[in-house]
Amino acid sequence: MTTLSAPKLIPNTDPAIESIREKVLKGQRLTLEDGQVLYRTTDIWSVLELAKIVRDRIHPGVAYYNINRHLNYSNVCALSCKFCEFARKQGEEGEYTRDLDYIKEQGRKAVESGATEFHIVGGLNPYLPFEYYTEMLCELRKVAPNVHLKAFTAVELVHLARIAKVYKRDDTQAGVRWVLQRLKEAGLGSLPGGGAEVFDERVHKEAFKTKIGAHEWLDVHLVAHELGLNTNCTMLYGHVDQIDERLRHMEILRRSQDQALHRLGYEGDPEGYIAEGIQESEQITAPVITLNMDGSKLPTPAMSNRGGYYQTITPLPFFPDGSALEHLPGPAGIENLRTIAVTRLMLDNFPHVKAFWIMQTLPMAQLMLEAGADDIDGTVVWYDITKAVGEGTHQETTELDLKRAIGEAGYQAIERDTLYRRVERDGSSWKVEV
Ligand code: SF4
């Protein structure tokens, strides 16, 4: 008769993880070499476990969602980024530009559904005047005065500076400041994080060479922070990018966040690790600031009189279908899970890591709550940029589904507004805790 023995616990098969574990337990910043180990080790369970330790320290027992609506006002775009399946040229089949009546109607529907946020992005439409954008925000402000307007990625804002004729090639910040001040007056509340892709000149040349590069993207977010606007950021990975380039991207973002947090009064560690030889972050003199320990004080909207900061990093897996890079396979499950975990571990000064269910699928986003993510985004409704779930652009989930997904993962579901304040809700009426 065969005797069955109890299964052994999975050992840590990669000793290189142990020095990283020590740093994570002490809340120290990980190096780019640590990032390489996390990306390349076969000991995936330890990577996920470490990310969960950090995620649970910062957000013990809870995960976030929101009731939101996405609004893609136009898919007409002057550029042709290779990874993009959304953009169309004027007159091409499927192109559209929403008029103000459509936008107002969306505003009314947002109020009826109790949404707290509009997420507004579109192509670089060369046929729309600057006033279209200020009027869009003003009209939404009138019909949906309480709905937060998170609008326009960095590349759209540089495009707006161009069409408003305030863009200067040698001083991006000046033109963008002019644009952001007017949009803020019209109702802009914060910036989404798209358009960052992967900050690397090789990737930029190969996949989106006519789009703004890292310097201009960072300039836009720096100006937004100086104006007291919170922003977000993304990393579109799994196309022509390499692991080293993703890690450089993360280093640049966390140094940019060091700068934002230092402005808010965080002191940090002047001796902390800073990667050498990265041009985009060399000018930043702020000390290393981490937020990944028990009791770390996260920045709050109340600090916005001193400036804004990055709230969330959202890693976005590349979808090849319909793009000029259709021959590439795109990333799959384990890589997506690992990338969320590595992002949580490397971006130690970002309050939130989002698993965007639209691009990850809801079951995968749920799993990612165990791998570093603390947010799965919202009800969305219409989303034209990527169609991961089926063919249509109607990509809606219910509040119940979001709460169930979070609850099944073992966390308390917290409805948040765009600025991560807790929402108290009674049907479509709501208010935020201040
Ligand atoms: S990614 Fe953005 S800028 Fe590039 S083609 Fe698509 S819509 Fe245009």
Report the nearest atom of ligand 1 relative to the CA of 84. 6
| Structure-token match 């600090």, residue found | 303
Distance 125 CA to ligand 1 centre (A): 10
Instruction: Give the number of other Cβ atoms within 10 Å of residue 382's Cβ.
Output: 14
Domain ranges of the chain: 34-413
The response to whether residue 79 sits with its C-beta less than 6 Å from ligand 1 reads: yes
Q: Report how far residue 39's alpha carbon sits from residue 29's, in angstroms, rounded to the nearest whole number.
A: 16
**8 Å CB contact between 180 and 226:** no
The response to whether residue 81 sits with its C-beta less than 6 Å from ligand 1 reads: yes
The response to whether residue 212 sits with its C-beta less than 6 Å from ligand 1 reads: no
CATH of 34-413 given 3.30.70.260, 3.65.10.10, 3.40.1360.10, 3.20.20.70: 3.20.20.70
**8 Å CB contact between 249 and 199:** yes
The response to whether residue 380 sits with its C-beta less than 6 Å from ligand 1 reads: no
pLDDT in tens, 260-277: 999 999 999 999 999 999
Where b means 16+ CB within 10 Å and e means fewer, 71-90 reads: bbbbbbbebebebbbbbeee
Report the nearest atom of ligand 1 relative to the CA of 86. 6
Distance 422 CA to ligand 1 centre (A): 33
Report the nearest atom of ligand 1 relative to the CA of 156. 3
The response to whether residue 84 sits with its C-beta less than 6 Å from ligand 1 reads: yes
State both tokens at 308: 């804004």
Q: Report how far residue 160's alpha carbon sits from residue 384's, in angstroms, rounded to the nearest whole number.
A: 21
Q: What are phi and psi of 400, to 5 degrees?
A: -60, -45
Percent of the chain residues topping a pLDDT of 90: 72
Report the nearest atom of ligand 1 relative to the CA of 78. 8
The response to whether residue 78 sits with its C-beta less than 6 Å from ligand 1 reads: no
| Structure-token match 């709050």, residue found | 300
pTM of the model: 0.93
Q: Whose CA is nearest to atom 2 of ligand 1?
A: 123
Mutate to test the pocket of ligand 1, among 73, 80, 84, 152 (most ligand atoms within 8 A of CB): 84
Burial of 303 per CB tally in 10 Å (0-12, 13-18, 19+): middle
The response to whether residue 87 sits with its C-beta less than 6 Å from ligand 1 reads: yes
**8 Å CB contact between 362 and 376:** yes
Report the nearest atom of ligand 1 relative to the CA of 83. 1
pLDDT in tens, 164-209: 999 998 899 999 999 999 999 999 999 999 877 888 788 888 877 7
Q: Whose CA is nearest to atom 4 of ligand 1?
A: 81
Mutate to test the pocket of ligand 1, among 155, 197, 206, 239 (most ligand atoms within 8 A of CB): 155
Q: What is the residue-level pLDDT of the chain in tens, covering all 434 positions?
A: 555 565 555 555 788 899 999 999 999 999 999 999 999 999 999 999 999 999 999 999 999 999 999 899 999 999 988 878 889 999 999 999 999 999 999 999 999 999 999 999 999 999 999 999 999 999 999 999 999 999 999 999 999 999 999 999 889 999 999 999 999 999 999 999 987 788 878 888 887 777 888 899 999 999 999 999 999 999 999 888 889 999 999 999 999 999 999 999 999 999 999 999 999 899 899 999 999 988 899 999 988 888 899 999 999 998 888 787 888 888 888 999 999 999 999 999 999 999 998 888 899 999 999 999 999 988 876 666 655 444 455 666 788 899 999 999 999 999 999 999 999 999 889 999 77
